[in-house]
């Protein structure tokens, strides 16, 4: 199933006024959102390593909204009202799941060490290790993602890493 985004009134205002202070790259993504193109279409047109993150930010800040869904047969349908946000975490486990928590911790630590290096991230690595639950790790998600995206190699892999972490966090 593919998601189609459309600009909100705030998004249209941003295109004309540039009042929101969006970066040129984020603004370019907003310009391409037209209510017809799917996320996959945008991905092929924009060559953005962190498109998912950019779309999530634009959605959270009210510049765009889900306008429709396209199923596997190509049939377009109205977006259901209960559609989760593009940046939504998976539901928390009913009971504390130490294995899943440790998986998320390990993934965050290992990717930081591999793509960024421990130097300069010791504070974040310490907070990841000290997190006592998924909610505390989720609070560190944006900082983790920013560190990954700021690295040269991590930027290339950011969207895939983000999706993998969202599956366990």
Is residue 48 domain-shared with residue 108, that is, in the same domain?
A: no
Task: Evaluate whether residue 91 is within a structural domain.
Answer: no
| Structure confidence by residue, pLDDT tens digits, 61-71 | 889 988 887 76
Residue 123 has pLDDT above 80, yes or no: yes
Task: Evaluate whether residue 90 is within a structural domain.
Answer: no
Name the band, by pLDDT with cuts 50, 70 and 90, for residue 73: low
Residue 79 has pLDDT above 60, yes or no: no
Which helix H or strand E contains 6, and what residues bound it? strand 2-7
List the strands of the sheet with 2-7, edge to edge. 2-7, 64-70, 76-78
Is residue 59 domain-shared with residue 116, that is, in the same domain?
A: no
Task: Evaluate whether residue 85 is within a structural domain.
Answer: no
Give me the sign of the Cα torsion angle 101, 104, 109, 110: positive
Residue 74 exposed, middle or buried by CB count within 10 Å (0-12, 13-18, 19+)? exposed
Task: Evaluate whether residue 110 is within a structural domain.
Answer: yes
Which residues share a beta bridge with 38? 4
Q: What's the mean pLDDT in 133-139? A: 87
Q: What's the mean pLDDT in 154-169? A: 80
Query: Can you tell me whether residue 64 is helix, strand or coil?
Result: strand
Number of domains making up the chain: 2
Cβ proximity of 29 and 58 under 8 Å: yes
Is residue 104 domain-shared with residue 141, that is, in the same domain?
A: yes
CATH code for position 47? 1.10.10
CA distances from 55 to 14, 106, 121, 136, 166 (A): 15, 27, 26, 24, 15
Name the band, by pLDDT with cuts 50, 70 and 90, for residue 78: low
Closest CA to 58 of 36, 28, 100: 28
**pLDDT of res. 160:** 80
CA distances from 43 to 82, 149, 159 (A): 25, 17, 11
Q: What's the mean pLDDT in 97-111? A: 91
In which domain, by residue range, is 128 found? 98-168
Is residue 110 domain-shared with residue 68, that is, in the same domain?
A: no
């Amino acid at each position: 199933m593919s998601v189609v985004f459309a600009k909100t009134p705030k998004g249209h205002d941003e295109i004309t006024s540039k009042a929101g202070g969006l970066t040129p790259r984020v603004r370019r993504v907003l310009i391409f959102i037209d209510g017809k193109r799917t996320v996959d279409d945008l991905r092929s047109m924009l060559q953005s390593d962190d498109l998912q993150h950019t779309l999530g930010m634009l959605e959270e800040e009210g510049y765009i909204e889900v306008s429709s869904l396209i199923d596997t047969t190509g049939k377009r349908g109205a977006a259901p009202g209960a559609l989760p946000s593009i940046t939504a975490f998976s539901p928390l486990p009913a009971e504390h799941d130490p294995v899943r928590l440790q998986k998320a911790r390990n993934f965050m630590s290992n990717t930081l060490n591999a793509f960024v290096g421990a130097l300069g991230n010791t504070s974040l690595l310490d907070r990841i290790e000290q997190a006592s639950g998924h909610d505390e790790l989720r609070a560190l998600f944006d900082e983790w993602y920013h560190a990954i995206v700021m690295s040269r190699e991590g930027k290339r892999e950011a969207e895939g890493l983000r999706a993998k972490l969202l599956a366990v966090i």
